[in-house]
Amino acid sequence: MGAFASLGNPINCYALVSYVPGELGVFLDGLRRELVPSCSFRSHVTLLPPRGLSVGSDEAWDTIQRVCAGYAPFRVDLVEIEIFPETHVIYAALGEGFAHLEQMHREFMTGPLYFDEPFTYHPHVTLAQSFPPEQFEEIAALAQQRWREYRGEKSFLVENLAFVQNTDANDWLDLHRLNLTANPGPRPVGVLATASRTS
Protein backbone atom coordinates (compact mmCIF):
# COMPACT_ATOMS: atom_id res chain seq x y z
CA MET A 1 0.00 0.00 0.00
CA GLY A 2 1.09 3.53 -0.56
CA ALA A 3 3.76 2.81 -3.14
CA PHE A 4 6.37 5.54 -3.35
CA ALA A 5 5.74 5.89 -7.13
CA SER A 6 2.89 4.77 -9.38
CA LEU A 7 3.39 3.31 -12.84
CA GLY A 8 0.03 1.67 -13.53
CA ASN A 9 -3.58 2.43 -14.38
CA PRO A 10 -6.24 2.26 -11.61
CA ILE A 11 -8.38 -0.90 -11.44
CA ASN A 12 -11.44 -1.96 -9.44
CA CYS A 13 -9.54 -3.04 -6.35
CA TYR A 14 -9.64 -1.00 -3.13
CA ALA A 15 -8.51 -1.28 0.49
CA LEU A 16 -8.51 0.71 3.71
CA VAL A 17 -5.26 0.94 5.66
CA SER A 18 -3.51 2.82 8.43
CA TYR A 19 0.16 3.53 7.73
CA VAL A 20 2.61 2.90 10.55
CA PRO A 21 3.95 6.34 11.55
CA GLY A 22 7.14 7.66 13.10
CA GLU A 23 10.31 5.79 13.94
CA LEU A 24 8.55 2.43 13.89
CA GLY A 25 7.20 3.10 10.40
CA VAL A 26 10.64 4.08 9.11
CA PHE A 27 12.14 0.90 10.60
CA LEU A 28 9.44 -1.36 9.13
CA ASP A 29 9.64 0.31 5.70
CA GLY A 30 13.38 -0.32 5.66
CA LEU A 31 12.96 -3.87 6.88
CA ARG A 32 10.43 -4.62 4.14
CA ARG A 33 12.90 -3.44 1.51
CA GLU A 34 15.73 -5.41 3.12
CA LEU A 35 13.68 -8.62 3.14
CA VAL A 36 12.24 -8.15 -0.37
CA PRO A 37 14.23 -5.49 -2.28
CA SER A 38 11.51 -5.07 -4.92
CA CYS A 39 8.95 -4.04 -2.27
CA SER A 40 7.99 -0.36 -2.51
CA PHE A 41 4.96 -0.42 -0.22
CA ARG A 42 4.73 1.51 3.05
CA SER A 43 4.20 -0.50 6.23
CA HIS A 44 0.57 -0.52 7.33
CA VAL A 45 -2.19 -2.37 9.11
CA THR A 46 -5.16 -3.21 6.90
CA LEU A 47 -8.73 -2.53 8.05
CA LEU A 48 -10.36 -3.58 4.76
CA PRO A 49 -8.38 -6.12 2.70
CA PRO A 50 -8.30 -5.59 -1.08
CA ARG A 51 -11.68 -5.94 -2.76
CA GLY A 52 -13.63 -5.09 -5.88
CA LEU A 53 -16.57 -2.72 -5.45
CA SER A 54 -20.04 -3.00 -6.95
CA VAL A 55 -20.55 0.73 -6.35
CA GLY A 56 -18.52 3.82 -7.09
CA SER A 57 -15.55 4.67 -4.91
CA ASP A 58 -17.29 7.83 -3.66
CA GLU A 59 -20.20 5.79 -2.25
CA ALA A 60 -17.75 3.38 -0.63
CA TRP A 61 -15.86 6.31 0.89
CA ASP A 62 -19.10 7.77 2.27
CA THR A 63 -19.78 4.45 4.02
CA ILE A 64 -16.26 4.35 5.47
CA GLN A 65 -16.70 7.86 6.87
CA ARG A 66 -20.03 6.94 8.48
CA VAL A 67 -18.55 3.86 10.17
CA CYS A 68 -15.50 5.78 11.39
CA ALA A 69 -17.56 8.64 12.84
CA GLY A 70 -17.88 6.80 16.14
CA TYR A 71 -14.23 5.80 16.57
CA ALA A 72 -11.45 7.56 18.45
CA PRO A 73 -7.74 6.89 17.82
CA PHE A 74 -6.49 3.70 19.45
CA ARG A 75 -3.14 2.03 20.09
CA VAL A 76 -1.79 -1.04 18.30
CA ASP A 77 1.06 -3.07 19.82
CA LEU A 78 3.34 -5.22 17.64
CA VAL A 79 4.46 -8.22 19.66
CA GLU A 80 6.39 -10.75 17.57
CA ILE A 81 7.17 -12.03 14.08
CA GLU A 82 4.84 -14.75 12.81
CA ILE A 83 4.04 -16.55 9.54
CA PHE A 84 0.82 -17.41 7.74
CA PRO A 85 1.62 -21.03 6.83
CA GLU A 86 -0.81 -21.26 3.90
CA THR A 87 0.69 -18.25 2.08
CA HIS A 88 4.19 -17.96 3.64
CA VAL A 89 3.52 -14.30 4.41
CA ILE A 90 5.87 -13.07 7.16
CA TYR A 91 4.27 -10.47 9.43
CA ALA A 92 4.40 -8.60 12.73
CA ALA A 93 1.61 -9.91 14.98
CA LEU A 94 -0.61 -7.60 17.00
CA GLY A 95 -1.38 -7.69 20.70
CA GLU A 96 -3.26 -4.61 21.92
CA GLY A 97 -5.54 -3.26 19.19
CA PHE A 98 -6.27 -6.63 17.56
CA ALA A 99 -9.85 -6.86 18.88
CA HIS A 100 -10.50 -3.19 18.09
CA LEU A 101 -9.52 -3.73 14.44
CA GLU A 102 -11.70 -6.86 14.27
CA GLN A 103 -14.68 -4.82 15.49
CA MET A 104 -14.11 -2.09 12.91
CA HIS A 105 -13.73 -4.68 10.16
CA ARG A 106 -17.07 -6.26 11.11
CA GLU A 107 -18.76 -2.89 10.78
CA PHE A 108 -17.13 -2.19 7.43
CA MET A 109 -18.30 -5.56 6.05
CA THR A 110 -21.81 -4.29 5.36
CA GLY A 111 -23.65 -2.85 2.38
CA PRO A 112 -21.46 -1.50 -0.43
CA LEU A 113 -18.22 -2.54 1.28
CA TYR A 114 -19.12 -6.21 1.68
CA PHE A 115 -16.79 -8.66 -0.08
CA ASP A 116 -16.42 -12.43 0.15
CA GLU A 117 -12.87 -12.31 1.51
CA PRO A 118 -10.69 -15.37 0.73
CA PHE A 119 -9.19 -15.45 4.24
CA THR A 120 -10.56 -14.85 7.73
CA TYR A 121 -9.68 -11.30 8.75
CA HIS A 122 -6.53 -11.33 10.89
CA PRO A 123 -5.07 -7.84 11.45
CA HIS A 124 -1.28 -7.70 11.15
CA VAL A 125 1.59 -5.76 9.57
CA THR A 126 3.01 -7.57 6.55
CA LEU A 127 6.82 -7.67 6.34
CA ALA A 128 7.52 -10.02 3.42
CA GLN A 129 5.59 -11.82 0.71
CA SER A 130 5.90 -12.76 -2.98
CA PHE A 131 9.49 -13.98 -2.72
CA PRO A 132 11.05 -17.20 -4.11
CA PRO A 133 9.98 -20.15 -1.93
CA GLU A 134 13.57 -21.33 -1.48
CA GLN A 135 14.36 -18.02 0.31
CA PHE A 136 11.62 -18.44 2.91
CA GLU A 137 13.69 -19.72 5.84
CA GLU A 138 16.45 -17.16 5.28
CA ILE A 139 14.01 -14.26 5.04
CA ALA A 140 12.01 -15.40 8.08
CA ALA A 141 15.18 -15.74 10.18
CA LEU A 142 16.38 -12.28 9.11
CA ALA A 143 13.01 -10.71 9.98
CA GLN A 144 13.11 -12.23 13.46
CA GLN A 145 16.72 -11.13 13.98
CA ARG A 146 16.01 -7.53 12.97
CA TRP A 147 12.95 -7.45 15.23
CA ARG A 148 15.03 -8.61 18.21
CA GLU A 149 17.66 -5.97 17.44
CA TYR A 150 15.20 -3.09 17.17
CA ARG A 151 15.15 -1.03 20.37
CA GLY A 152 12.56 1.57 19.44
CA GLU A 153 8.87 1.82 20.26
CA LYS A 154 6.91 -1.21 19.07
CA SER A 155 3.45 0.29 19.20
CA PHE A 156 1.70 3.07 17.31
CA LEU A 157 -1.52 5.04 17.30
CA VAL A 158 -4.11 4.28 14.63
CA GLU A 159 -5.52 7.74 14.00
CA ASN A 160 -5.18 8.30 10.24
CA LEU A 161 -6.78 6.00 7.65
CA ALA A 162 -6.16 5.91 3.90
CA PHE A 163 -8.60 4.62 1.28
CA VAL A 164 -6.39 3.25 -1.49
CA GLN A 165 -6.82 1.87 -5.02
CA ASN A 166 -4.71 -0.73 -6.79
CA THR A 167 -3.36 -0.44 -10.34
CA ASP A 168 -2.59 -2.89 -13.12
CA ALA A 169 1.08 -2.54 -12.13
CA ASN A 170 0.19 -3.64 -8.57
CA ASP A 171 1.01 -0.39 -6.87
CA TRP A 172 -1.44 1.54 -4.73
CA LEU A 173 -2.78 5.08 -4.95
CA ASP A 174 -4.03 7.04 -1.94
CA LEU A 175 -7.53 8.31 -2.81
CA HIS A 176 -8.74 9.75 0.50
CA ARG A 177 -7.46 10.32 4.04
CA LEU A 178 -9.48 10.37 7.26
CA ASN A 179 -8.59 11.31 10.83
CA LEU A 180 -10.33 9.41 13.61
CA THR A 181 -11.87 11.89 16.02
CA ALA A 182 -10.48 12.32 19.53
CA ASN A 183 -13.97 12.66 21.08
CA PRO A 184 -16.41 10.52 19.11
CA GLY A 185 -20.11 11.20 19.51
CA PRO A 186 -23.01 8.75 19.26
CA ARG A 187 -22.71 6.04 16.60
CA PRO A 188 -24.50 7.11 13.38
CA VAL A 189 -27.91 5.59 12.72
CA GLY A 190 -27.71 2.76 10.20
CA VAL A 191 -24.17 1.64 11.00
CA LEU A 192 -24.39 -1.97 12.10
CA ALA A 193 -22.12 -3.66 14.62
CA THR A 194 -22.26 -7.03 12.87
CA ALA A 195 -21.69 -7.98 9.27
CA SER A 196 -24.35 -9.54 7.11
CA ARG A 197 -21.86 -12.26 6.40
CA THR A 198 -18.25 -13.01 7.34
CA SER A 199 -15.72 -15.31 5.78
Tens-place pLDDT, residues 110-153: 889 999 999 999 999 999 999 999 999 999 999 999 999 999 99
Tens-place pLDDT, residues 35-80: 999 888 899 999 999 999 999 999 999 999 999 998 999 999 999 9
Tens-place pLDDT, residues 18-34: 999 999 999 999 999 99
Q: What is the 3-state secondary structure (H, E, C) of the chain?
A: CCCCCCCCCEEEEEEEEEECCHHHHHHHHHHHHHHCCCCCCCCEEEEEEEECCCCCHHHHHHHHHHHHCCCCCEEEEEEEEEEECCCCEEEEEECCCHHHHHHHHHHHCCHHHCCCCCCCCCCEEEEECCCCHHHHHHHHHHHHHHHHHCCCCCEEEECEEEEEEEECCCCEEEEEEEECCCCCCCCCCCCCCCCCCCC
